[in-house]
């Protein structure tokens, strides 16, 4: 099947289902829940890392890329999982964390023990002549990006936690090691790869300070050499199997680079995750702030990426949620009265755009952020560091908590809510993160009486069946409308008109006359709307897609 017809489901293994009742989800738990995943009818599952890891950053600190963390299962469990999913035509996508390894990885340990070969696997630098850190770069998790290398007077680079040492991609031996890891997993039947923060791998040989007012990330993000690395990786590993699906997680990237990463002529990746649309509730670009989202900015960003990527023949990964983001309903919808309508509306936006939609576990039942009351409820290193940094800045405990509560990554990492039972039916043991509102929101209830899950099923079906959804072009519409994100998809003599009201109030949309004479049919609606007319009053969080067919023009474009 063409990748453009696919929908991908994301599972955070630690939080999906706990089969051995230790409070942590595991691979056998996922096997038990295959019938649930099959119901949704997705084509591929992206699994967050389950490799051997000290879990300082929940598995993004890998100590052995070829082995399963015993807390999450065994290689036999993984092989069984792949085979059982395959029986339902569901493929597996693994998460390759290649910008850095855990400092517990044997390469780093050998480097610490004095091996020159392995020291050259990492980015280890002398201090400045005045004894200061090699550069003034900051870690994305707070504090400086440099840490003392063992008992030497040198430092190693860590763009993330100090337990995550950046690899030296300039060293071809490192790159070959990484490609052989991909090849290893391909022999296990893996058909998809997500590459973690892959566009920060291109560091220069000589690293320089960020200038005053300049952010250090501009010195190592989206460097041209990343395209060379991806082309080489494609050639040496996944490119050998034509049906492999790849997605690069691109930190602070540009449309131009993302076209480069995904235009098929370049032989780099199938698609990219970009994040600009998820920064529209940051005050002055700062994540650890709390403010309402800027709707007009959101529209502009989505529109620019749709148009720009289509123009350059690039391909977007489409998503609102993942394991690093608070739940989208809390940010862009209404977790209260309109939880269901806003969940359906947000799903419509993403699933009918040009690109490949990703569904993050729990999204399909409308899960919301947990109702946590203190910093002790959080586990994530980033949230805890941010909380302390906010206190240091002079915020009160309440103010700091309020921000963390809105922005923490743990908001989406809470256990999957299976039932209105102790621990949300996730485990009989106290889970590693506390579930909260499972009485109201859980799989059992949703499947019995809900309308979010079956709405997702419909959207997935549309992408599988309707070429306008999977292969159509994109056109902007009503860019100045203050409440509605609208767009056209185009295919042969058809147009798909998609209208999404992002607010709690009714709002009017006027359809231009030239479309009113076309044949029309409702493809999907979250309010059971039937008629296509000049003036449409959209209800709170209403989403509707009309398929318009120009019978006169035959195969011509409308």
Binding site for ligand GLC (CB under 6 A): 57, 60, 97, 160, 196-197, 249, 323-324
Tell the smallest beta-carbon distance from residue 356 to ligand GLC (Å).
17
Task: Please give the angle made by the CA atoms of 20, 21 and 26, to the nearest 5 degrees.
Answer: 55
Q: 91-96 and 124-125: which strand pairing? A: unpaired
Buried residues in 406-438 as b, exposed as e (16+ CB within 10 A): bbbbbbbbbbbbbeeeebbbbbeeebbbbbbbb
Q: Is 249 a catalytic residue?
A: yes
Longest dimension (CA), the chain: 78
Tell the smallest beta-carbon distance from residue 358 to ligand GLC (Å).
12
Tell the smallest beta-carbon distance from residue 492 to ligand GLC (Å).
38
Q: Which is nearer to ligand GLC, 158 or 339 (CB)?
A: 158
Tell the smallest beta-carbon distance from residue 246 to ligand GLC (Å).
16
Q: Is 147 a catalytic residue?
A: no
- DSSP, residue by residue, 146-165: EEE-TTSS-EEE-SS-TTEE
Q: Which is nearer to ligand GLC, 119 or 201 (CB)?
A: 201
Please tell me what DSSP assigns to residue 44: E
Q: Which is nearer to ligand GLC, 93 or 197 (CB)?
A: 197
Q: Which is nearer to ligand GLC, 279 or 504 (CB)?
A: 279
Q: Which is nearer to ligand GLC, 324 or 363 (CB)?
A: 324
Nearest alpha-carbon partner for 94 in 244, 217, 260, 254? 244
Nearest alpha-carbon partner for 316 in 279, 277, 372? 277
Question: Looking at 57, 61, 69, 196, which residue is catalytic?
Answer: 196
Q: Which is nearer to ligand GLC, 62 or 400 (CB)?
A: 62
- DSSP, residue by residue, 501-532: E-SSS-EEEE--HHHHTSEEEEEEESS-----
CA distance 486 to 196: 32
Tell the smallest beta-carbon distance from residue 338 to ligand GLC (Å).
29
CA distance 477 to 492: 19
Q: Which is nearer to ligand GLC, 321 or 494 (CB)?
A: 321
Please tell me what DSSP assigns to residue 324: T
CA distance 320 to 318: 7
CA distance 437 to 432: 16
Question: Looking at 18, 57, 91, 249, which residue is catalytic?
Answer: 249
CA distance 203 to 199: 10
CA distance 8 to 91: 9
Whether the CB-CB separation of 67 and 106 falls below 8 Å is answered with no
Whether the CB-CB separation of 219 and 137 falls below 8 Å is answered with yes
Kind and range of the H or E run holding 447: helix 443-449
Q: Which is nearer to ligand GLC, 139 or 270 (CB)?
A: 139
Residue whose Cβ sits closest to ligand GLC: 60
Tell the smallest beta-carbon distance from residue 25 to ligand GLC (Å).
16
Angle between helices 255-262 and 295-311 (to 10 degrees): 40
Dig out the tokens for 452 from the structure.
């979010």
Tell the smallest beta-carbon distance from residue 101 to ligand GLC (Å).
10
Tell the smallest beta-carbon distance from residue 57 to ligand GLC (Å).
5
- Among all residues, which ones are annotated catalytic? 196, 249
């Amino acid at each position: 099947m063409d990748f453009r017809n696919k929908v991908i489901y994301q599972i955070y293994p630690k939080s999906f289902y706990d089969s051995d009742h230790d409070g942590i989800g595991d691979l056998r738990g996922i096997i038990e829940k295959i019938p649930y995943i099959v119901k949704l009818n997705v084509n591929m599952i992206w699994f967050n890392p389950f490799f051997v890891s000290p879990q300082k950053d929940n598995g993004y600190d890998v100590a052995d890329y070829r082995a399963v963390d015993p807390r999450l299962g065994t290689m036999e469990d993984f092989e069984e999982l792949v085979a059982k999913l395959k029986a339902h035509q569901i493929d597996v996508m693994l998460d390759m964390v290649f910008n850095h390894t855990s400092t517990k990885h044997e390469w780093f340990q050998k480097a610490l023990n004095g091996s020159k070969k392995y020291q050259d696997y990492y980015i280890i630098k002398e201090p400045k002549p005045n004894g200061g850190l090699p550069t003034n770069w900051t870690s994305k998790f707070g504090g400086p990006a440099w840490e003392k290398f063992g008992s030497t007077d040198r430092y190693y680079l860590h763009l993330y936690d100090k337990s995550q040492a950046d690899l030296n991609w300039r060293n071809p031996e490192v790159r070959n090691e990484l490609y052989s890891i991909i090849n290893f997993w391909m022999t296990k039947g893996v058909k998809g790869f997500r590459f973690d923060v892959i566009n920060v791998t291109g560091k220069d040989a000589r690293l320089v300070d960020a200038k005053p007012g300049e952010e250090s990330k501009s010195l190592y993000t989206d460097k041209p050499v990343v395209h060379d690395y991806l082309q080489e990786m494609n050639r040496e590993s996944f490119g050998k199997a034509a049906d492999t699906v790849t997605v690069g997680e691109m930190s602070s990237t540009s449309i131009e680079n993302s076209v480069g990463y995904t235009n098929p002529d370049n032989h780099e990746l199938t698609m990219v995750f970009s994040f600009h649309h998820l920064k529209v509730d940051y005050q002055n670009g700062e994540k650890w702030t709390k403010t309402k989202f800027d709707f007009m900015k959101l529209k502009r960003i989505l529109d620019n990426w749709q148009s720009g990527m289509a123009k350059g023949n690039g391909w977007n990964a489409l998503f609102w949620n993942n394991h690093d983001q608070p739940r989208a309903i809390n940010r862009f919808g209404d977790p209260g009265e309109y939880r269901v309508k806003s969940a359906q509306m947000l799903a419509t936006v993403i699933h009918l755009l040009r690109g490949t939609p990703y569904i993050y576990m729990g999204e399909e039942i409308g899960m919301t952020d947990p109702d946590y009351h203190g910093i002790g409820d959080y586990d994530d290193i980033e949230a805890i560091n941010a909380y302390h940094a906010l206190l240091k800045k002079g915020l009160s405990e309440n103010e700091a908590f309020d921000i963390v509560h809105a922005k923490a990554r743990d908001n989406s990492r809470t256990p999957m809510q299976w039932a209105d039972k102790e621990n949300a039916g996730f485990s009989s043991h106290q889970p590693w993160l506390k579930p909260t509102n499972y009485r109201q929101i859980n799989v059992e209830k949703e499947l019995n009486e809900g309308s979010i899950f079956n709405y997702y099923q419909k959207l997935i079906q549309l992408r599988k069946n309707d070429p306008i959804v999977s292969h159509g072009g994109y056109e902007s519409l009503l860019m100045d409308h203050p409440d509605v994100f609208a767009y056209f998809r185009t295919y042969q003599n058809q147009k798909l008109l998609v209208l999404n009201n992002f607010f709690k109030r009714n709002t009017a949309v006027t359809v231009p006359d030239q479309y009113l004479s076309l044949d029309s049919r409702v493809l999907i609606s979250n309010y059971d709307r039937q008629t296509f007319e000049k003036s449409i009053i959209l209800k709170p969080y209403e989403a509707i897609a009309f398929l318009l067919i120009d019978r006169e023009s035959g195969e011509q474009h409308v």
